[in-house]
A and B are shown apart, each in its own frame.
Chain A
Amino acid sequence: MKAKQQRMMLAGLGLAAVAAAALLALSALKDQASFFYAPGDVQRQGLPLGRAVRLGGMVEDGSIKRQADGVSIHFVVGDGVARVPVSFRGIAPDLFRERSGVVAEGSFNPDGSFTATNLLAKHDEKYMPPQMAGKMHETTTLKE
């Protein structure tokens, strides 16, 4: 009888552990998941302030301005619907250039600009992130 009780207790503990993991994960997800935005989304939905997000779009032609310190850049990301000025301090990826795709990780500022902590450049056709492929496609259809 004792063995059976212990077994039930263990099964109960196992379930409790799974439930605890789920609860813990979901509560953390609520404020830690980083959503993907295109400039057009921001225009439609408003600024997602105070949380880490990813901003994806095209680096506009002629928009990359290198700053005097040599390690900061300002550029503009657009998707044909809206434009967002982005500032970044760090070493930009080698494939980061104007008129090509970029995903910037960071957060929005109250004035609508974006401070990036990391840049992911479009690698080539083979390694294009699906998020980016999806967003670009979506915004081109919007433009038409």
Chain B
Amino acid sequence: MIAEAGLAALWLAAALAAMQFVLAAIAVRRVLIDPEDGSALTTDLIGAVRPVAIVQGALAALAMALLIAVFLRSDMSVLLVAENSHSEKPWLYKFAGAWGNHEGSMLLWVTILGLAGGAVAIFERSLARATLTATLGAQALIALGFYAFLLFASNPFARIDPAPSDGQGLNPLLQDPGLAFHPPTLYIGYVGISVAFSFAVGALVARDVGPAFARAMRPWVLGAWIFLTLGITAGSYWAYYELGWGGWWFWDPVENASLMPWLAATALLHSVTVLATRDGLRAWTVMLAVVAFSMSMIGTFLVRSGILTSVHAFAVDPTRGSFILALLVLYIGGALALFATRVGTVRAGNTFDLVSREGALVANNLLLSVILGVVLIGTLYPILAAGFGVQLSVGPPFFNKAAGPVALLLVVVMAAGPLLRWRRDGLRALAARMGAPVAAFAIVLVAVLVFGGGISLLPLLGLALAAGLAVASVAPLWGRNLLRTPLFTWGMVVAHLGIAVSLAGMASESAFTKQTLVAARVGEPQQVGPYTVTLNGVSPVIGPNWSALEAHLSARRGDAPAILLRPQSRFFTNPVTVTSESAIATVWDGQLYTVLGQIDGAGRVQLRLWWKPFVTLIWLGGALVALGGALSLVGRLLRERRARRRVEAEAWV
């Protein structure tokens, strides 16, 4: 019964989305014909769109809750549960397993989409009625496509008869607490971008592209960007410790699928600020919103179509791929066509000098676009080539070579940007303000050259630029009363500092990592970086649904007490898989990363040991970036609220 109720909720939500779209379309049409239209019908139509959006979101959430319920109850008569769950799984994985598969993750997608639409309907107060109604109409149209996809091509509530006695289990690589957080975080990011896209479409339809629209869109862009940042950071750390390959970024298409919307959202975030505060870059910002949403759709397509093979591609099904591709073409094509027909009605905004905050932000946008283009081409090229019968893969050498230098250039712009004034500034004045950052850059450059040994160019520049950027990031705080500095300025400072921290971690990891690969005997000491690692023995371990071999390692460094590490090689029975569980010791200046390989006939144990100095800075920086975004978001929301209060208070007098 639960499954049928879930399906019914999904159909109802789809019907409401259709209704929301039709109501909004009629209302917007009437308002566009006569902007002064105050007739009862128009007012009623507009009034109806909001509650419909809210109920639609609630119904989608209900369907998701019911799917989680059948997973928690291990109801094997539901096909999805039988294929992806097992009654002996720990409850966390039954719960998170609800979206650890294709159908469930798509349902999570529309649930978040529906809830976001509901949130826009509830909280958005400052936007013109036509723009808001058109926005909710666009949101309904996006949701409708995904409801159709779920109901016709990926029904999560399908039954299986006869029901099997037990399920096939979850891919062991996914059996990690990360599964509970990583997909929802990224989906909130993707979907938040879809809201920004709907705002852009709404503003184009209602011919209302201006600062008011930018201020309404900004919190959504910021929110989406925070979640994407967190999702990417967490996903990177998850891959780092779960895969046991010692790397933190593999330029895997699935990783790129989350990086591309992030790059576009970062550009959008900066251009929307120009539009909101300086009323410049109008058409540009709308275009970026379309691009950002295109990237999250392409990301969804790459991950969900089964065109890629990875732990993310749950099932290979061409019809599903075609369905998402059709949605992608429909939405992106439609949005671009709308943009092309309406861009003439977008009046040019304020102008600015080349050397100004706006100029730096344009440079930021251009460089981010170049990186985005490089990543997009590198990601899609193998798929296109496969269409012509050529099989190839594009890996880290390509991305590092093509995107790395551009990214470093971007860091230079990033250091200078916040030190520039809006509208107009002088190069000489900028040079004076850049003195301290340039000094930091030079000192680190020389220090690394002298003490770092033979270091290659990119990590060297990375370390030096990170130092310069760190100094430049906090420079906007100099000479200011820190308590009276607005929260969003703090946000910018913290986020930029986070990039510097992360960059330092990446450069240090790439330049100074030490690796030892051995077949070790018990008691034999191995050297890796500053550590001496000794194998004390190997023992079997039993887990809830796996058994494992566990190596006992003790790592010593100088006179400090030994660190104990226990990497495992785990054997799962449902389905039969072997995974490697790395053991990582975190100290203040880096991580000792250990992986257990196979045991050979002579009793030797394969061990792979890494010493990664300051590698933790990568994720710490990512967390700082997200924190900066959160500070900024809170600062903006508080200021908006205060401004509204003031207007209301004046209206009383």
Contact = CB atoms under 8 A, between A and B. Distances in A.
**A and B together in one complex:** yes
Interface string B344-383: 0000111110000000001000110111111001100110
A24 to B, nearest CB: 5
Contact of A94 (B374, B395, B569): B569
B393 A70 contact: no
Interface in A100-143: 105, 123-124, 126-131, 134-135
B604 A32 contact: no
Interface in B580-611: 580, 595, 597-598, 600, 602, 604, 606, 608
Contacts of A54: 393
Contact of B348 (A4, A13, A29, A36): A4
A82 interface: no
Contacts of A144: none
Contacts of B401: 28, 32
Interface in A65-88: 66, 69-71
Interface in A15-50: 17-18, 20-22, 24-26, 28-29, 32-36
A20 to B, nearest CB: 6
A130 B569 contact: no
B518 A130 contact: no
A135 B283 CA distance: 47
Contacts of A10: 281, 284, 362
A8 to B, nearest CB: 10
B598 A92 contact: yes
Contact of B373 (A18, A33, A127): A18
B394 interface: yes
A52 B395 contact: yes
Most chain-B Cβ atoms within 10 A of its Cβ — which of A13, A26, A29, A91?
Answer: A91
A14 B519 contact: no
> On chain A, which size bracket covers the interface?
35 or more
Given A6-B348, A10-B284, A24-B402, A17 B519 contact: no
A89 B52 CA distance: 61
B374 A25 contact: yes
B575 A89 contact: no
A36 B393 contact: yes
B444 interface: no
A36 B309 contact: no
Given A32-B397, A124-B575, A134 B391 contact: yes
B377 A25 contact: yes
Nearest to B349: A3
B264 to A, nearest CB: 13
Contacts of B517: 71, 89-91
A64 B482 CA distance: 66
A99 interface: no
B392 A36 contact: yes
B398 A21 contact: no
Contact of B369 (A4, A17, A71, A128): A17
B19 interface: no
A95 B377 contact: no
A21 B373 contact: yes
Nearest to A54: B393
Given A3-B351, A24-B406, A127-B309, A18 B519 contact: no
A32 B391 contact: no
Nearest to B311: A127
Contact of B309 (A17, A18, A34, A128): A128
A91 B283 contact: no
Contacts of A94: 569, 578-580, 598
A23 B283 CA distance: 25
B392 A35 contact: yes
B427 interface: no
A70 B394 contact: no
B542 interface: no
A29 B377 contact: yes
Contact of A33 (B351, B393, B600): B393
Contacts of B311: 127
Most chain-B Cβ atoms within 10 A of its Cβ — which of A14, A71, A95?
Answer: A71
A26 B236 CA distance: 27
A26 B377 contact: yes
Nearest to A37: B391
A29 B401 CA distance: 10
A20 B374 CA distance: 9
B254 to A, nearest CB: 13
B390 interface: yes
Contact of B351 (A6, A66, A95): A6
Given A52-B395, A70-B519, A71-B606, A7 B374 contact: no
A91 B606 contact: yes
A126 B402 CA distance: 33
A16 to B, nearest CB: 8
B284 A14 contact: yes
Contacts of A32: 394-395, 397-398, 401-402
A105 B392 CA distance: 11
B577 to A, nearest CB: 8
Contact of A13 (B316, B366, B371): B366
Contact of B370 (A24, A33, A91): A24
Given A14-B284, A14-B369, A33 B398 contact: yes
A105 B371 CA distance: 26
Contacts of B575: 124
Interface of A: 2-4, 6-7, 10, 13-14, 17-18, 20-22, 24-26, 28-29, 32-36, 52, 54, 66, 69-71, 89-92, 94-95, 105, 123-124, 126-131, 134-135
| A-B interface, 6 closest residue pairs, ranked by CB to CB distance from nearest | A70-B519, A21-B373, A94-B578, A91-B597, A32-B398, A36-B391
27 contacts: A18-B369, A21-B371, A22-B373, A22-B377, A25-B373, A25-B402, A29-B398, A32-B394, A32-B395, A32-B401, A33-B382, A33-B392, A33-B393, A33-B394, A36-B393, A52-B395, A52-B397, A66-B600, A91-B517, A91-B597, A91-B606, A92-B597, A94-B578, A124-B575, A126-B315, A127-B309, A131-B393
Interface of B: 281, 283-284, 287, 309, 311, 315-316, 348-352, 362, 366-367, 369-374, 377-378, 381-382, 385-386, 390-395, 397-398, 401-402, 406, 517-519, 569, 575-580, 595, 597-598, 600, 602, 604, 606, 608
